[in-house]
Amino acid sequence: MEKGEKIYEGKAKILYKTDNPDQLIQYFKDDATAFNAAKKGTVAEKGVMNNKISTKIFEFLESQGLPTHFVEHLNDREMLVKKVEIVLVEVIIRNRAAGSLCRLLGIEEGTKLSQPIFEFCYKRDDLGDPLINEDHILALSLATQEEIDTIKKYTHQVNDLMRKFFLNLNLELIDFKLEFGRHKGKIILADEISPDTCRLWEVGTGNKLDKDRFRHDLGNIEEAYQEVLTRVSK
């Protein structure tokens, strides 16, 4: 399979064409940004670790019947994915309060939630990915009602599956962000699932094993990602 021209470069990944018009190569960089790129840095080998972690999670979700863009792990920093048209909506589920929810509602980090909170954000870096609701999505034609319903159903399924998956590894899934794409008229899970896009706290110690170590300069970032990789690889 031939690697073709670069078609997109984001903050943490690059997409390249392949000789198959339906497939792209997703390349994982070591670059990290936070707070809408106000903070920038690199995390040694993050790309390699996130590629492996995402592979494990996509394989697990596919095995449970969830459609994803994942095709195969190619090498350290690259996976082969289906080419999709990205829906311009980011989906977040929160099982416990952290990050922007604490700022939004004035609650303590770690506050228990009596049920998961589902959020939509408009995928617009220039606006700082603002929180929106279904009316905004429909009024701006970002997705149809049918697509929204599918995205919500899949996201709740991913939450149920991933909570159990990580709990088996003694990790609590605090929250996560998903992106979806359109492929041959169907909604499928896209982007990546890694400690860049999930908050994971070790059960018992509450040790943070995710990008909050970078966001808040907590140290031992590489070790935290490596720990997640080691656990998901078991």
Residues that bind ligand TMP (CB under 6 A): 92, 98-101, 129, 175-177, 197-199
CB of 177 to ligand TMP, least distance (A): 3
Task: Tell me the torsion sign for CA atoms 205, 155, 84, 23.
Answer: positive
* Burial of 94 from C-beta contacts in 10 A (0-12 / 13-18 / 19+): buried
CB of 101 to ligand TMP, least distance (A): 6
CB of 84 to ligand TMP, least distance (A): 18
Q: Which residues pair with residue 3 across a beta bridge?
A: 18
From residue 99, alpha-carbon distances to 57, 105, 109, 173 in Å are 23, 11, 7, 13
Residue 91 · residue 155 · CB < 8 Å: yes
From residue 169, alpha-carbon distances to 162, 179, 229 in Å are 11, 24, 11
Q: Where are the alpha helices (DSSP H) in 9-85?
A: 46-63
CB of 231 to ligand TMP, least distance (A): 17
In the complex with ligand TMP, the residue whose CB is nearer, 103 or 184, is 103
In the complex with ligand TMP, the residue whose CB is nearer, 112 or 184, is 112
In the complex with ligand TMP, the residue whose CB is nearer, 18 or 61, is 61
Task: Tell me the torsion sign for CA atoms 188, 9, 228, 80.
Answer: positive
In the complex with ligand TMP, the residue whose CB is nearer, 55 or 197, is 197
In the complex with ligand TMP, the residue whose CB is nearer, 18 or 155, is 155
CB of 175 to ligand TMP, least distance (A): 4
Residue nearest to ligand TMP (CB): 99
Residue 176 · residue 92 · CB < 8 Å: yes
